[in-house]
Structures are given as C-alpha cells and as structure tokens.
Amino acid sequence: MAAEGLAAAGANVLIASRKADACEAVAKELNAMGLAGQVTGFGGDVGTKDGIAALVAEVNARTDRLHILMNNAGRTWGAPMGEHPYEAWEKLLSLNVTGMFHLTQSLLPLLQSASTADDPARVVNVGSVMGDIPKGTSTYSYAVSKGAVHHMTRVLSNDLAPMGITVNAIAPGPFVSKMTAFAIGTEEGQKKSAEGVPLGRVGRPEDIAG
C-alpha cells in the first residue's frame, strides 16, 4: 500500500519483512507497473536485537541516506481477558514498540545524512485507531502496544526535531490483510467492523497510498 504510493511519487523504496520471498515478489510486481521510483525487497526482522542489527547492515549496504523511515512492522493477538497469555505481551511489545524504537535509533545516521534545513528526514510510525479508542475486540496487548507507539511518537518528535528529523504517526482503522483476517477476513466481519467507521467501510489500499 505505502510502497506503491511512495514509488509512484518517485521514491526509491526498500521493503523488508521476515518473509524475504514475499517482499521480493511485491517489489517485482510494483516495478512492473512502471512507477517513477524503484522498489527493492529483502528479508529483515525487527523482533530481535540481532535481527535489527542485520536489517540495519542490509540497509547501510544499499544506501548512504534515508529520507523516510516507515515503521510498519507489527503483529496482533486476540484472546478473551481470562485467556490472554503472557507471551502475547512479550511478543507484541517486543516487536510493535521495542523493535520500532531500536530500528529508528539505529538508522539515525542515515536519516541525518538525508536531512536538510529545508527538507527534514521523516519517520512515520504506523499506529492504530485501537491505540486511542477501545474497540472491545479482546486484542489487549495489541491495543496497548499501539497506544505506546503513539506516545513514543510524541516523545521522539520532540527529541529528534533538533536533528532535522520529524516523527509522526498514522492510526489506520480496519484494513483487510493477513494480520487482520481473523477479525475481518469475511464479508460479515468487514460489515461489522465498518459500523464504527464514518465512511461505512473498511480501509482500501489507496487510503494508505494517498
């Protein structure tokens, strides 16, 4: 979604996830569209300290500056209050919050290299509407992690501004994806979820691409 929008605007985009094959396939598909920018996909994991170090090394090998960092890695977990496990909190906070912070921290040199007085480098953190508004969907650890992302964004925006780096967050509502399939993967699920959306529908790729 975002990669297509950025490439269409002329950006050279690097996309990474634990599934390198999927990223490479998406990059190939987007490049075949004849967009103004190029997309490169490769493997990366921000869920561990070693994974972050490896991803940062990969990015450094491919570019000497980074104009935009979009922190989009995340996972969710749904279970009733009485059954929501300890491991859900460990895994979600580690990836959704800790990983986001340390990846940003590690890429500061590349962001500063791209920044100018007239055109600062930019960090965009992907939060969620669930980080601000309780939805009653039993995704306790996910909702809390996204609330943490929103506040971390405020903290970082204050601290990184003197370095010429802006930090903002977006808080999408429901979008159909592999991660949300358990909740809105069916027509009935989408209809129910859309009841709380002013437009009366779940999100579409173009809503993120802009």
Q: What is the pLDDT of residue 202?
A: 77
The residues that are catalytic are 142
Summarize pLDDT for 103-153 with one digit per residue, the tens. Answer: 999 999 999 999 999 999 999 999 999 899 887 778 899 999 999 999 999
Say yes or no to pLDDT of 197 above 90.
Answer: no
Query: Regarding predicted confidence, which is higher, 203 or 55?
Result: 55
Query: Regarding predicted confidence, which is higher, 204 or 158?
Result: 158
Q: How many CB atoms lie within 10 A of CB 69?
A: 23
pTM for this entry:
0.88
Summarize pLDDT for 65-75 with one digit per residue, the tens. Answer: 999 999 999 98
